[in-house]
Structure 1
Amino acid sequence: MLKVENLHTYHGFLHVLQGIDFELTEGELLAIVGSNGAGKSTLLGTLAGVYAPKDGSITYKDEEITKYSVQKVVSKGICLVPERRQIFSSLSVKDNLLLGAYHRYHKDKKSIHKDYDDVVEMFPRLKQMLDRPGGLLSGGEQQMLAIGRGLMAKPKVLMLDEPSLGLAPLIVKDIMNILKRLCREMGTTIILVEQNVKAALKVADRGCVLAHGKIAISGTSQELLKNPKVQEAYFGKSSNKSDVPITM
């Protein structure tokens, strides 16, 4: 469904992504984990059309979208829920949600209201505060609103950048369960970028560890959870083996 080959992205002279390769199948949840500065947000931004890669290709359903604008990427069915929510704080919850469907308004107007009802049912807490300004919501509620707004774009591929950032463990668990449900019940393909490695891998089908702009380790989520290098680097578990921390 989505294929990334030899992707290289720069910020000025800084070579951030250094040859990224991976593939996604429909309905799969891929976790991309790693420390600060590994290139995770740049990877999502490149896939979303925010950053133009210097080399490599992004193919979606056999169509190369490497040089597409953000608007065209969204129209193809790929949506990014950015880090730190970035909701419109002065607008109501309802208006924030409806803005997620702005690009569909003229050609898909009839189905927008049904999609809105479906999203509201998925987030019962938001249903109770549809007229409340987004800026008055708690961090967890704002994250649910950001995900709901993303879903209003009717994406086939939903990308999330650090959705657990700054949230309490119980809220993180709720959000991870919602993502898992989106894959299992709605067939949404999800790319989840996270520093909360354990939470991400518990709900993911597969995972990649990003280090210094390259994929250092990849495999099923269970393989990564049991990997001594991952355990040592992210869970604080020492290994009796001669494994070293994840580097490139």
Structure 2
Amino acid sequence: MLKVENLHTYHGFLHVLKGLDFVLSEGELLSIVGSNGSGKSTLLGTLAGVYTPSNGNIEYKGFKITKDSVQKTVSKGICLVPERRQIFSSLSVKDNLILGSYHRYRKDKKTIQYDFDEIIELFPRLKPMLNRSAGLLSGGEQQMVAIGRGLMANPKVLLLDEPTLGLAPLIVKDIMNILRKLCDERNTSIILVEQNVKAALKIADNACVLAHGKITMSGTAKELINNPKIQEAYFGKLKQELNR
């Protein structure tokens, strides 16, 4: 579904992504793990059209989208849920969700209510809060709004940047279960950037380790969990936890 070849991205003179190659299949959950500064957020931004790569190709369903804008990328079915949620605090929960469908509001108005109802079923905690200002919600509830807003774009590929950052363990578990459900029941493809390595690899089909802008290892999530070199280099004290 999504194919990345020899992807290079710069921020000014800083060479951030250095020749990335990977493929995302339909209904697959791919976790990207790595330390701060490894290029994870830049990768998602490049796939979403926020950043323009200097070299390489991005193909979606066989068509090149390497130079597409954010608007074109969203309209084709790829949506980014950014780090730290970035919701509209002064707007209601309902308005935040509806804004996710802005690009299809006129031509697809009849199905938007159906999609909205589906998202409320997916995040039932939001149902009694629809008219509340989003800024008054807890961090976990705001993250649900952010993911729901992304889903209102009706994406085939969902890009998530640190969705569990700063959240309580029970909320993390709920969100991870929902992401797995989206892949299994809606056939949504997901690229998940996450520093909570244990949670990310538990729900992933496949994973890549990103370091200094390069993919240093890739494989199934199970393979990465059980690889001693990866445990030593990236998981440290999580080694025993990951094997439980």
Query: How would you bin the TM-score normalised by the shorter chain?
Result: over 0.9
Q: What residue is the counterpart of 1:73 in the other structure?
A: 73
- Could you tell me how far apart the structure 2 residues matched to 1:234 and 1:19 are? 21
**TM-score (norm. length: structure 2):** 0.96
Q: CA RMSD in A?
A: 1.1
Letter in 2 for 1:146: A
> What does 1:201-216 align with in structure 2 at a 5 Å threshold?
201-216=201-216
Deviations 1:120-144 (A, max 9, x none): 1110100111001000000000001
> What does 1:135-214 align with in structure 2 at a 5 Å threshold?
135-214=135-214
Aligned partner of residue 44 in structure 1, secondary structure: helix
Letter in 2 for 1:187: N
Per-residue deviation, 1:231: 1.4
Per-residue deviation, 1:170: 1.1
Rate the CA distance shift 1:184–1:238 in 2: closer, same or farther, 3 A.
closer
- Could you tell me how far apart the structure 2 residues matched to 1:24 and 1:233 are? 25
Q: What residue is the counterpart of 1:244 in the other structure?
A: none
Per-residue deviation, 1:238: 9.8
Aligned partner of residue 43 in structure 1, secondary structure: helix
1:208, 1:218 within 8 Å by CA — same for their partners in 2?
yes
Rate the CA distance shift 1:170–1:238 in 2: closer, same or farther, 3 A.
closer
Deviations 1:72-110 (A, max 9, x none): 000000000000000000000000000000000111010
1:4 corresponds to 2:4: yes
Larger helix share, 1 or 2: 2
Letter in 2 for 1:105: Y
Letter in 2 for 1:46: T
Structure 2 unpaired stretches of 5+: 240-244
Letter in 2 for 1:226: N
Per-residue deviation, 1:233: 2.8
Structure 1 unpaired stretches of 5+: 240-248
Aligned partner of residue 235 in structure 1, secondary structure: helix
Per-residue deviation, 1:198: 1.0
Q: What residue is the counterpart of 1:103 in the other structure?
A: 103
- Could you tell me how far apart the structure 1 residues matched to 2:116 and 2:51 are? 30
Deviations 1:168-227 (A, max 9, x none): 111111100000000000000000001111110000000000000000010000000011
Letter in 1 for 2:161: D
Rate the CA distance shift 1:226–1:102 in 2: closer, same or farther, 3 A.
same
Letter in 2 for 1:176: M
Per-residue deviation, 1:237: 4.7
Q: What residue is the counterpart of 2:25 in the other structure?
A: 25
Per-residue deviation, 1:230: 2.1
> What does 1:36-51 align with in structure 2 at a 5 Å threshold?
36-51=36-51
1:194, 1:200 within 8 Å by CA — same for their partners in 2?
yes
Per-residue deviation, 1:236: 2.1
- Could you tell me how far apart the structure 2 residues matched to 1:149 and 1:11 are? 28
Per-residue deviation, 1:234: 3.4
1:197, 1:234 within 8 Å by CA — same for their partners in 2?
no
- Could you tell me how far apart the structure 1 residues matched to 2:164 and 2:150 are? 16
1:232, 1:238 within 8 Å by CA — same for their partners in 2?
no
- Could you tell me how far apart the structure 1 residues matched to 2:166 and 2:116 are? 27
Aligned partner of residue 236 in structure 1, secondary structure: helix
Q: What residue is the counterpart of 1:122 in the other structure?
A: 122
Q: What residue is the counterpart of 1:88 in the other structure?
A: 88
Per-residue deviation, 1:235: 3.0
Q: What residue is the counterpart of 2:133 in the other structure?
A: 133
Rate the CA distance shift 1:177–1:238 in 2: closer, same or farther, 3 A.
closer
Q: What residue is the counterpart of 1:60 in the other structure?
A: 60
